[in-house]
Amino acid sequence: MSIGIVPSILSADFTRLGEQVREAEAAGCARIQVDVMDGHFVPNITMGPLVVEAVRRCCTVPIEAHLMITQPERYVADFAQAGADVIIVHLEAAPHLHRLLQQIKGLGKQAGVALNPATPAVLLDEVWDLLDLVLVMTVNPGFGGQAFIPAMLPKLTAVRRLVNERGLACDIEVDGGIGPQTIGLVAAAGANLAVAGSAVFNQTRSVRENLRQLKDLA
Ligand code: DX5
């Protein structure tokens, strides 16, 4: 299974965000992910539609807005307007998930659902027909640089098996603790997209070198 690397800008150097995004695109990233956090759904506050607009102006690859926020239904239109191509909401923050996914699709955007580590994939049973992407969190969301949770691998494999058995055109993405030690594990378990923040944007090597290493190891 070939896997696309999706740099998340959470760990980027925000004093030169445009340069870092352009470096990632030039190095062959599949997409860019903007990690949106509201300090309610997760214990951190990060960025909003303004940053999606800025990233949109400096790359041509698809942009994912990963909404780690409560009441995402209030904001999906703003992120669509800002230029996000894929809008990912958390199942745990969406009591009316079916309607929310319809809302995202109605905006002409791809709809994704993220599952926190404790959330079983069976809760997606009634919305598979609306899904363009499932994001299996491999950390508890809120911060970059956390340790990968290996117990998520069986969940990832089960999601891949279900998508294949049903012949669904649904991306399977992982997010959290993805680096040289774990990229091979998630590729083998069935992910076709992998979000990586601190493994791509760090002070030890260039974005290009980091992306090349992840792609080679995948
Ligand atoms: C949720 C965030 C992080 C980030 C990736 O906490 O969404 O998962 O994207 O961070 P790394 O790749 O540094 O674990």
Residues 10-43 as b/e (b if ≥16 CB within 10 A, e otherwise) read bbbeeeebeebbebbbebebbbbbbbbbbeebbe
Q: Any idea what the CATH number is for the domain that residue 179 is in?
A: 3.20.20.70
- Per-residue confidence (pLDDT) for residue 171, from 0 to 100: 98
Query: How many angstroms separate the alpha carbon of residue 174 from the centre of ligand 1?
Result: 10
- Per-residue confidence (pLDDT) for residue 103, from 0 to 100: 98
Q: How far is CA 84 from CA 8, 80, 117, in A?
A: 14, 5, 25
| Residue-level pLDDT, tens digit, the chain, 218 residues | 589 999 999 999 999 999 999 999 999 999 999 999 999 999 999 999 999 999 999 999 999 999 999 999 999 999 999 999 999 999 999 999 999 999 999 999 999 999 999 999 999 999 999 999 999 999 999 999 999 999 999 999 999 999 999 999 999 999 999 999 999 999 999 999 999 999 999 989 999 999 999 999 99
- Ligand 1 atom with minimal separation from the 179 CA: 12
C-beta 8 within 6 A of ligand 1: yes
Residue 209 contacts residue 20 (beta carbons within 8 Å): no
Query: How many angstroms separate the alpha carbon of residue 137 from the centre of ligand 1?
Result: 9
Enter the tokens of residue 213: 């290493």
pTM: 0.98
- Per-residue confidence (pLDDT) for residue 85, from 0 to 100: 98
H/E stretch holding 158 reads helix 153-166
Question: What is the domain range of residue 158?
Answer: 4-217
* 155 backbone dihedrals φ, ψ, rounded to 5°: -65, -45
Query: How many angstroms separate the alpha carbon of residue 209 from the centre of ligand 1?
Result: 19
Helix (H, G, I), strand (E, B) or coil at 5: strand
Point out the catalytic residue in the list 129, 171, 175, 216.
175
C-beta 117 within 6 A of ligand 1: no
Q: What is the CA radius of gyration of the chain?
A: 16
- Per-residue confidence (pLDDT) for residue 148, from 0 to 100: 98
Total tally of structural domains belonging to the chain:
1
Amino acid 186 reads V
- Per-residue confidence (pLDDT) for residue 161, from 0 to 100: 98
**175 carries an active-site annotation:** yes
- Per-residue confidence (pLDDT) for residue 19, from 0 to 100: 98
**78 carries an active-site annotation:** no
- Per-residue confidence (pLDDT) for residue 1, from 0 to 100: 59
